[in-house]
Structure 1
Amino acid sequence: MTLTNCVALSLILCAIGIFGMLTRRNLLGILLSVEIILNGANINFAAFAHFRAADPVAGAVFPIFVMAVSACEIAVALAIIISMYRRKKRLDVYRMEELHG
């Protein structure tokens, strides 16, 4: 495993996530695509920390921080999605015109 392989994998995951965000109509699918993008960023952080950093432990802090922020983001986003589903009975992004009311 080299740095180039890790960066290529990270790029592929980010591309899949961006494609998923642009093509999905369901809010849960969009949320999963955002998580794929964050996982690609985590691989990138960990790869550069492993291959280029003087202290690899210091570079491992970034993926842990991203995972913590991601867990908080998922909790808030799922609460919003559940609330929207209970109110509107659908999760189609294009059919939702307003968030209030």
Structure 2
Amino acid sequence: MNTAFFNPIHWKKSFLVVLLLSFVLIWFGFIDSYSLLARFELNSKKADLNEKIEKLNASSDELKEKIENLNNDAALLEKIAREEYGMRKPGETVYKIKRTK
């Protein structure tokens, strides 16, 4: 039996280089915790989170605008207090009308 086949010392240098490069590519491509696959997944999650941040910032801006409108418009504040919370002025009588379908 030829033992040179199983002994890495007798292998050709080009074969060893190809073997080493293959191992390195597989390791850094798929196995390592900072592999290309893991980086791709993290970049995808980062893009999704940035999208969520933009939506939340837009929502926050809308809410700030509503707060500003409520602080500056007494009629709007009164309308919301009457319609949503059933508040009334002293001496007023509120009649609630039920709608039937």
TM-score by length of 2: 0.30
Instruction: Tell which has more relative contact order, 1 or 2 (C-alpha 8 A, sep 6+).
Output: 1
Q: Which has the larger radius of gyration?
A: 2
Which of the pair is proportionally richer in helix? 1
TM-score by length of 1: 0.30
